Structure 1
């Protein structure tokens, strides 16, 4: 069985995520149409007010879906914070997800994302 392919869309103007029923990209990978419960189909021009985040196909220790742009925290086997926070991203050159220890998701947790919780990454 293959990995489930789905996306969430961050709307910069509304400052919220939606889970589109339909979206279309142009040849440059820009979002040109989005249809969900917040907006209708757009006119086909690139929409710079939305950001696409792909589902990794995996879930964290709390059964939370992990998306591109999520902020992760790792714990050791005793439940103590194990490492600094990381951001889930896709490495185009290596064609792989970064920012999560995929072999040990029982110790990884989504604690926010770069859009709603950028303060988590401030030093």
Structure 2
């Protein structure tokens, strides 16, 4: 089974989400974004990788997505230390961090992402 590797990021031109192959050009001119998806300059801090998982609506789950289900809301991110995608709950009195693959994401729903909807993650 092949794992699909793709990324998303916000365009430097119009703030729209771009999906596809990621290229990081170390020798690009200062006038061109060094991070590109499908040849389009991307805001580097918005780049997220597809986790390989889908929500209950069949939507692809990316790093930075906020998903909800089973009375919890979690933020998805990649852990360099553990080399896996993480689901982190950021609600008062419950700061749980767990491996995303341990969740039944097919019964959860993407409700936004940390870039467009940071208010969806409650912080103390």
TM-score scaled by structure 2?
0.68
Q: Report how far residue 102 of structure 1 moved.
A: 3.8
Q: CA-atom RMSD, angstroms?
A: 2.6
- Structure 1 contact 26–32 (Cα < 8 Å) conserved: yes
Change (3 A) 1:60 1:102: farther
TM-score scaled by structure 1?
0.69
SS class of match (1:19): strand
SS class of match (1:106): helix
Structure 2 unmatched ranges of 5 or more: 27-32, 88-99
Q: In the alignment, which residue of structure 2 is the partner of 1:24?
A: 23
Q: How many residues align?
A: 104
Q: In the alignment, which residue of structure 2 is the partner of 1:119?
A: 119
SS class of match (1:112): strand
- Structure 2 contact 7–22 (Cα < 8 Å) conserved: no
Moved over 4 A (4+): none
Q: In the alignment, which residue of structure 1 is the partner of 2:86?
A: 98
> 1:1-123 counterparts in 2 under 5 A?
1-11=1-11, 14-20=14-20, 22-26=21-25, 32-34=34-36, 36=38, 49-50=43-44, 51-75=46-70, 82-83=71-72, 85-99=73-87, 100=100, 102-122=102-122
